[in-house]
Structure 1
Amino acid sequence: MRILHSAFLVVALWSLSAVALAENNVRPLQYDDVFLLEFASDPAPAPNGQTIVFVRNWMDRMQDRRRSTLWTVNADGSNLQALTSKDQNASQPTWSPDGSRIAYVADGQIHVYWVESGRQAQISHLQQGPGNLTWSPDGSWIAFSMFEPQRRANPVTLPGRPDGANWAESPIFIEDMNYRADGRGYLPSGYRHIYMMPAEGGTPIKLTSGDFDHGGSMSFSADGSALFFSANRYEDWKSQPINSEIFRLDIESRNLTQLTDRDGPDHSPMVSPDGRMIAFAGVDDRRLAHQNHGLYVMNIDGSNVRALTADLDQHIRDFKWAPDSRGLFVYYDAQGKGTLAHQPLRGDRRELTDEVGGLAYSRPYSGGDFAVLADGRLVFTHASTQRPAELAVLNQQRRSVTVTGITSLNRDLLMKRDIGQVEEFWYNSSVDEKPIHGWVIYPPGFDESKQYPMILEIHGGPHTAYGPYFAMELQLMAAQGYVVLYTNPRGSTSYGEDFANLIHHNYPSHDFDDLMDGVDAVVARGFINEDELFITGGSGGGVLTTWAIGHTDRFRAAAAINPVINWYSFVLNADMYNYFTQYWFPALPWEDPEHYLKHSPISYVGNVTTPTLLFTGESDHRTPISETEQYYQALQLRGIDTAMVRIPGASHSLHARPSNHMAKPAYVIYWFDKYRAKD
């Protein structure tokens, strides 16, 4: 038996017994409740700090799509109202500097809303979708990035085609290194450039040139004469997928000045409110699988670069300047929890809250948004294990911090559904006694005197983190009477760079042991039926699911979601192959095939006795369905009970369409119920 690192920490008590559930006519979650989910994202405060516009995300049952509209709410939570209609799929709200207008993107075009009159209009007629909307300081221009297709004629023209002949479609000639991307499919040739157009509408002016991509966030100089952005404009940029530098673009002359120069990504430049400094994030590239990006500041001319978070062993996910330019607010994950802190230019960092998140909503991944109000308060997406993201306002005093929720978008769902309660716990790894973090979701009406089946759910990445967040897929499994366990084994982020890189060039490995130790820790509590243990996970979690059943027979059944089972074939089929081969492996596959096969679950398929379900999107370019097919056919050859579920048109993000979000846990539960212990 494994030794618990510490006692279970109760995050929330069980609110209703099974009897109380029946009396109050409150039922556990149903599969089609995925269409009732809503969540807030991308808060954007007005310059005066009184009003916040945000994206309200909702599920369209008729179109089977997630859609978004813009809403406004006062900073005290009053006067919640719609700004755009459900006919528009709106996003990227950004205020003009004087607060008189809100620019946003809807259905691929730039729109402007005039606050005083309440009128709105489309001001662009673009051929491609714009991103990263940025107002000039005087409010007369809007800068944005946009893909520019590059038309290329086929190098070969076939002769002999008669007029009116019904020949096959012409061959597609590809010579780009990155030619397809998950969720986007096969990519057209071209590059992303920066444009600027009058705020009242007009013709976009192209500001950048060359066969390079220019994207990401942008920031104007205080006088509006220059734009700062990041790009990789090196000659070998195609083979260096994460390298980038900060550039200054003088708008009138189009002159480019490179401000940073190191091997590694420098990105997200943001000019300080006083116009004197630029903050940015970056890291010196050491070719590690996970590298924490730190926060830096430099003078507006690129001089005097200094690191502000060198003492913080976490990855900076986002940052914003404080209104007084004497510090910044930073967002990072620490021990699975989204954390906001104030980082002064001089002095000690102060953590403010660890409740940021709630955007993932399907599984309990970290991830959230925040913004700064004019008076220094913060608005952020507020996380909970019981619902997706809502908005909250944080007010910091000298000795105290208060957090006040200002939206309640899911109260209708919560009134009629009982959400499984979540407990946090820690345990020690049997490998080296390292503390491992985990959470347990209890089925509604849980009674610890009874015995329950348990599902181990494993996160992907592998360099990501689960945390105390609402997870519809896991909650739906708990609603079917299963205890659900999820943990952050070695390789997970938010526990320091060294912990994340314990699996560098060694994945999977002892992360498997960490997972099994977590199962043992929960089983030791006495309410789990050891004959009804099940395992599932997606992406990297699919890797570890197939790895686990090749190394143990303790699970009654397994469900591997979009797994990788053969690293050799994976790196030569995945969309990010030029990244994976450089950062995840010590050599190219033909240079060290033994390493690739040693860490491939397919190498251990001869040990598998566990009935296994495989579930993958047919348009998954991150972990291609050919991986699933290899494993399915191997299990079929061995006579192991197996089934393959193929999702037509689905990418790696299986939950992108609500019906697929519903189907995934439904098929998992179908498979596990089939192999439950029989009385």
Structure 2
Amino acid sequence: MAEQHCTPESLFELRLVADPQLAPDGQAVAYVERWIEEIEKDGKRRPAYRSAIYLSSGPDAAPRRLTFSSVGSDSAPRWSPNGQELAFISTRDGDKPQLFVLRLAGGEAEQITKTDELSEGVAEYDWHPSGQLFCFTSLGHKDQAAQRHAELHDEKVYAGRLPIKYDNVGFYDERRAQLYRVGRDGSDCVRLTTREREVRTPRWSPDGHHIAFLSQNEETPETSWVSDIFVVSAGGEGLRQLTGGVASIYNYAWSPDGAALAYVGHAREQGAATTQKLWQIKLADGATHCLTPSFDGHVGGMPTSDTHLSSTPLRPAWDNQSRITFAAMVQGRTGLYRVSAEGGDIEQLNTSGLSVVGFSQQGATLAFAGETNTRSAEVYTATSGHQLARRSKAGDAFFSTYQILPPEHIRFKGADDWEIEGWFIRPAAADDGQHPLILYVHGGPHLAYGNAFFHEFQVLAAAGFGLFYTNPRGSASYGQQFAAAVRQHFGEKDYADILHAADVAAGWAWVDAARMGIMGGSYGGFMTNWAITHTDRFAAACTQRSICNLLSFAGTSDIGPEFSRDEYGGLPWTDEELLMSKSPLRYVQQVKTPTLILHQENDHRCPIEQAEQLYTALVELGVPTKFVRFPDEGHEMPRSGQPQRRVNRMHHILDWFTRYLKP
């Protein structure tokens, strides 16, 4: 039996899986496995992420590693149509990912795209149905002259265009990813589009004559979250916009006959708070209809976690009976569902209580990565009438070494008697006495906690802190009214829901209400800031990658104008008083709570100037505070940042709450 508890450093021992891909015959499944190891770079040794492609050839076969490289990582496995080859993306040739193909019969992986021809690498790709071509997206190539020019002219120039930056990307130049085609042997690499908007998610039509992709109409403001499906011929001619320029579209799949597409998205009736649905569009006449109109699930969504390798909305899959399989999050749990291409009743498929973080389908067989709140995802296959078969063993060593503290489920009444869902974890070695507790608020606001493994939560509970994490109104997966309830009402009844959660926790016999802390990141950081500027009931706080000033956020965030219009209800030059009235900074003189501020210097979503303003105010007001800045990291650092920085971050959090919440 496992006896150790998780520590910040146990992150280094986690092995995670993602992107399970079934072979065309439905037997073998390829997937990505990621781990952390020390590597040398720039003369220094430091922990870094590595990943490789693994293969399980059958339900009873042990998984084996397929790809090997001394440096870099491999990802995005995709089977050739005949099932004899596996393509993947790898950084083994340098910092930029390139496309490779491995023959399963044996031999070394063959590089398809080359750094000297495509210096910016490959983002996404798809096999041609013949197996003789690929389509892919890329920023293209910078030759030596272009690179030299960029070195001499490193200033950025913008003229009438937004956004000028994007989180995890940095400051834009004039280039946007375009669509390319290349032969299976690496020959005839051809650029197919020349657009002012980014091209992403390319997919060949079943007959191989066309390529679909996601992009924006060039008349749509680039700051808008509207996206569309386009189709172009295999030669790059006849560009056609299929959808109507009013929806947010995240992923899609061709029907087997090529006559229609199923896609995940929404028509933005409630802006970014709109619940994602499954739709079908027919190519012949552009007729579009929703296949899940009364379904409350958030199609394509999954609960937030620090052990997911991707947050991309999950792609639907067609079968040969005109049915579509899709993933959807319902009350914090992502399951698999099936619906006819004409709509109608929705069937829930059996995943044995596992929450799905990735899946693929071949015939009657499904492969999916599934997790619980006590174990990170593993790969499973399921065939109608048969039990699930586990196909990976990535977490076996970790979960046999570390004792996992189980989250306990609860429902309670929030503001207006709305039902709120949450989970709590008792601290390790809890005796009959009372213990400190941390209330953790998720980001978004239209995300959700749920049936997902969170390493950070285990670390906090193992250190002796109880943990309570909830889905207040505004969270996804509880229906449209619930998700939209905070739109243009931040800090109102969502805040009341959080205080109700604190009241519930204060009534537990094992909780010392005088030693309760609050923390959160992004929107959760905003709510932490809102809480400490409106109550002194919390003995300590940790605000991460947060917002405190809605006025400056609108002009400095990569999503500032659109988010401010949509979620806050105004812009600085027309609604100054509204935005300041909703800004925690206005009420900062009321803060008494000792506050730890964590922020990343390359966070373009919630820029670090937000943390600087809050820190300055708290120091001036004499409030105990500490400000930790992480260099070279963006908004997602707590989930995907450099491993050592993630560990350091946890130590800062533990030190702060130990100081203020423990006797």
- Normalised TM-score (structure 2): 0.90
Hey, what does 1:348 align to over in structure 2? 345
After superposition, the C-alpha distances for 1:26-70 in whole angstroms (9 at most, x for unaligned) are 121122111001111011111011111101011123432222111
Hey, what does 1:671 align to over in structure 2? 656
Q: CA 1:321–1:524 in 2, change beyond 3 Å: closer, same or farther? A: same
Q: CA 1:253–1:461 in 2, change beyond 3 Å: closer, same or farther? A: closer
**Which of the numbers 438, 447, 455 marks the counterpart of 2:438?**
455
Q: Which amino acid aligns with 1:180?
A: K
> How many angstroms does 1:282 deviate by?
3.1
After superposition, the C-alpha distances for 1:590-644 in whole angstroms (9 at most, x for unaligned) are 2111111111111111111111110111111111111111111111111111111
Q: Which amino acid aligns with 1:221?
A: S
Within a 5 Å distance, the mapping from 1:373-392 to structure 2 comes to 374-392=362-380
Within a 5 Å distance, the mapping from 1:568-583 to structure 2 comes to 568-583=551-566
Secondary structure of the corresponding residue to residue 671 of structure 1: helix
Is the 1:229–1:248 Cα contact (8 Å) retained in structure 2? yes
Q: CA 1:529–1:129 in 2, change beyond 3 Å: closer, same or farther? A: same
Within a 5 Å distance, the mapping from 1:649-664 to structure 2 comes to 649-655=632-638, 656-664=641-649
Q: Is 1:369 the equivalent of 2:358?
A: yes
Is the 1:287–1:582 Cα contact (8 Å) retained in structure 2? no
**Which of the numbers 516, 524, 544 marks the counterpart of 1:561?**
544
**Which of the numbers 99, 108, 111 marks the counterpart of 1:119?**
108
> How many angstroms does 1:425 deviate by?
0.6
Hey, what does 1:644 align to over in structure 2? 627
Q: CA 1:396–1:517 in 2, change beyond 3 Å: closer, same or farther? A: farther
Hey, what does 1:247 align to over in structure 2? 230
Within a 5 Å distance, the mapping from 1:472-487 to structure 2 comes to 472-487=455-470
Is the 1:338–1:354 Cα contact (8 Å) retained in structure 2? no
**Which of the numbers 54, 72, 80 marks the counterpart of 1:96?**
80
> How many angstroms does 1:476 deviate by?
0.5
After superposition, the C-alpha distances for 1:130-159 in whole angstroms (9 at most, x for unaligned) are 1221111111101111114799x99xx9xx
**Which of the numbers 193, 207, 223 marks the counterpart of 2:207?**
223
> How many angstroms does 1:453 deviate by?
0.9
- C-alpha distance in 2 between matches for 1:282 and 1:676: 43
Is the 1:336–1:466 Cα contact (8 Å) retained in structure 2? yes
Q: CA 1:86–1:193 in 2, change beyond 3 Å: closer, same or farther? A: same
Secondary structure of the corresponding residue to residue 552 of structure 2: helix
Secondary structure of the corresponding residue to residue 177 of structure 2: strand
Hey, what does 1:21 align to over in structure 2? none
- C-alpha distance in 1 between matches for 2:463 and 2:154: 51
Q: CA 1:459–1:326 in 2, change beyond 3 Å: closer, same or farther? A: same
Gaps of 5+ in 2: 40-45, 92-96, 301-313
Q: CA 1:276–1:171 in 2, change beyond 3 Å: closer, same or farther? A: closer
Q: Which amino acid aligns with 1:558?
A: A
After superposition, the C-alpha distances for 1:505-533 in whole angstroms (9 at most, x for unaligned) are 11122111111211222232211112211
- C-alpha distance in 1 between matches for 2:658 and 2:227: 50
Hey, what does 1:209 align to over in structure 2? 194
Secondary structure of the corresponding residue to residue 255 of structure 1: coil
Q: CA 1:551–1:403 in 2, change beyond 3 Å: closer, same or farther? A: farther
Is the 2:198–2:216 Cα contact (8 Å) retained in structure 1? yes
- Normalised TM-score (structure 1): 0.88
> How many angstroms does 1:93 deviate by?
0.8
Secondary structure of the corresponding residue to residue 134 of structure 1: strand
Q: Is 1:43 the equivalent of 2:20?
A: yes
Hey, what does 1:396 align to over in structure 2? 384
Hey, what does 1:162 align to over in structure 2? none
**Which of the numbers 514, 517, 533 marks the counterpart of 1:534?**
517
> How many angstroms does 1:539 deviate by?
1.1
Hey, what does 2:8 align to over in structure 1? 31
Within a 5 Å distance, the mapping from 1:385-534 to structure 2 comes to 385-397=373-385, 402-429=387-414, 431-447=415-431, 449-534=432-517
- C-alpha distance in 2 between matches for 1:658 and 1:428: 38
Q: CA 1:322–1:177 in 2, change beyond 3 Å: closer, same or farther? A: closer
Q: Which amino acid aligns with 1:518?
A: A
**Which of the numbers 145, 156, 172 marks the counterpart of 2:156?**
172
Secondary structure of the corresponding residue to residue 675 of structure 1: helix
Is the 1:456–1:535 Cα contact (8 Å) retained in structure 2? yes
> How many angstroms does 1:341 deviate by?
0.6
Which is worse superposed, 228-237 or 614-623? 228-237
> How many angstroms does 1:172 deviate by?
3.2
Is the 2:21–2:30 Cα contact (8 Å) retained in structure 1? yes
Which is worse superposed, 501-510 or 572-581? 572-581
Hey, what does 1:56 align to over in structure 2? 33
Which is worse superposed, 474-483 or 178-187? 178-187
Q: Which amino acid aligns with 1:670?
A: D
**Which of the numbers 605, 608, 615 marks the counterpart of 2:588?**
605
- C-alpha distance in 1 between matches for 2:141 and 2:609: 30
- C-alpha distance in 2 between matches for 1:127 and 1:171: 21
**Which of the numbers 150, 166, 190 marks the counterpart of 1:181?**
166
Q: CA 1:210–1:171 in 2, change beyond 3 Å: closer, same or farther? A: closer
- C-alpha distance in 2 between matches for 1:354 and 1:645: 42
> How many angstroms does 1:121 deviate by?
1.1
- C-alpha distance in 2 between matches for 1:304 and 1:171: 47
Secondary structure of the corresponding residue to residue 632 of structure 1: helix
Secondary structure of the corresponding residue to residue 536 of structure 1: strand
Secondary structure of the corresponding residue to residue 569 of structure 2: coil
Q: Which has the larger radius of gyration?
A: 1
> How many angstroms does 1:452 deviate by?
1.2
Which is worse superposed, 527-536 or 517-526? 517-526
Hey, what does 1:286 align to over in structure 2? 269
Secondary structure of the corresponding residue to residue 131 of structure 1: coil
Report sequence identity in percent. Answer: 28
Is the 2:17–2:369 Cα contact (8 Å) retained in structure 1? yes
Q: CA 1:452–1:404 in 2, change beyond 3 Å: closer, same or farther? A: farther
Q: Is 1:589 the equivalent of 2:589?
A: no
Q: Which amino acid aligns with 1:205?
A: V
Q: CA 1:615–1:267 in 2, change beyond 3 Å: closer, same or farther? A: closer
**Which of the numbers 135, 141, 146 marks the counterpart of 1:143?**
135
- C-alpha distance in 1 between matches for 2:323 and 2:252: 15
Q: Is 1:335 the equivalent of 2:331?
A: yes
- C-alpha distance in 2 between matches for 1:298 and 1:641: 57
Secondary structure of the corresponding residue to residue 190 of structure 1: coil
Is the 2:263–2:316 Cα contact (8 Å) retained in structure 1? no
Equivalent residues, number: 627
- C-alpha distance in 1 between matches for 2:645 and 2:542: 16
Q: Is 1:131 the equivalent of 2:123?
A: yes
Q: Is 1:69 the equivalent of 2:52?
A: yes
After superposition, the C-alpha distances for 1:304-354 in whole angstroms (9 at most, x for unaligned) are 432211121233213433331420111111101112111122441111246
- C-alpha distance in 2 between matches for 1:128 and 1:169: 19
After superposition, the C-alpha distances for 1:245-288 in whole angstroms (9 at most, x for unaligned) are 22221224611122222422345342212333222233223352
- C-alpha distance in 1 between matches for 2:3 and 2:90: 38
- C-alpha distance in 2 between matches for 1:638 and 1:354: 53
- C-alpha distance in 1 between matches for 2:589 and 2:298: 39
Hey, what does 2:308 align to over in structure 1? none
- C-alpha distance in 1 between matches for 2:420 and 2:539: 25
Secondary structure of the corresponding residue to residue 64 of structure 1: strand
Secondary structure of the corresponding residue to residue 61 of structure 1: strand
Q: Which amino acid aligns with 2:348?
A: E
> How many angstroms does 1:432 deviate by?
0.3
Is the 1:243–1:264 Cα contact (8 Å) retained in structure 2? yes
Is the 1:421–1:444 Cα contact (8 Å) retained in structure 2? no
Is the 1:273–1:321 Cα contact (8 Å) retained in structure 2? no
> How many angstroms does 1:356 deviate by?
8.1
> How many angstroms does 1:291 deviate by?
1.2
Is the 2:63–2:393 Cα contact (8 Å) retained in structure 1? no
Q: CA 1:267–1:547 in 2, change beyond 3 Å: closer, same or farther? A: closer
Which is worse superposed, 567-576 or 230-239? 230-239
